[in-house]
A and B are shown apart, each in its own frame.
Chain A
């Protein structure tokens, strides 16, 4: 079909005019940073595990799914209609800590019992094992939530409904109506970035992890128990995935569902690959890129400029493809990372 310039050109001009309005820019940036914060938390555990251990952990999305459901369960059981917003937020913070502790322990036990025995085999064994466990976790979750009368998909609205009104309402920022949740996610994302950075750069264990990401055998030869470090880092990576899941619990575009096991994994991999496997800085930058791209394409769709519903996903995976073609090691990755 020939492009009708008479109608297309004015549409492009109108889109550009709307795009460069302060309200649009504010909306894209704030929502984009909110999404970036969640993507960072979801991806950073994956990149830590790959950077140190060379293990592509396909259970990562399933762990986020567990985090979302556990968080949802605690919130649904603890919150009633009359529960104050501050109490809800305080409960949410407790849930974050509990889910982090639970899943860190679970991840450590998983690494110790199932992954450790196959380190000496080819990476394909680790991929098959983690993928298989991810499928098991997803299916068991489906069975459990169904037995409790909750549909595993679409997202569990009961859990999403525990969000305080302050997060579901929209606030005017430079004329743009922006959901309160995004500001909360940005704050938590900054805390997560600073926390992980401090751990990696200001603690002795973080130093061992950075050294081990380059050469785990050398680290072992310097007297550090690298296997123990593997267990701890895998646990921490799993705990961070769980926190990411809890963040998704109140997100209107996600929410607790069995679909998180695959969806989260895909987004986390996109961020990790664009940033560079094993790179903390790359994960931060890639999360912002993906978050802003997601926010921009969501705006295009929401304003009716584009009617294709899959545009955000198409754009994000398009970024991934472009990165793999022009810079396969990612923005900050080195060509060979990982210990195995």
Chain B
């Protein structure tokens, strides 16, 4: 997962509607995969990026080479640095945690898992176990 995708993911637990973006990153392992530099694509993407969320996330994973606010004049060095961080930095392992409800979304082999079912599955297993014990008791 790249940071550009992280920038549009939010927690979607039922009822978790505020302070659910951005998801905080923990225990991350990073890898750099180089791709072609495309300044136009990057420029067109900038308005869609939530800069504050992006900066705080970058800080969490130890990247501090970016300005706190999006500069008015954008030069090539800045874009190249941004390209490196947004497109070439892959989060391979780790987890994303919601600041509001603390739900954890694991990242395995670069693929974030946004399913909520894990808890539901556990709950169901409990219910089944309950039914089984009841049957034994009867």
**A and B associate in one complex:** no
Instruction: List chain B positions with a Cβ less than 8 A from chain A.
Output: none
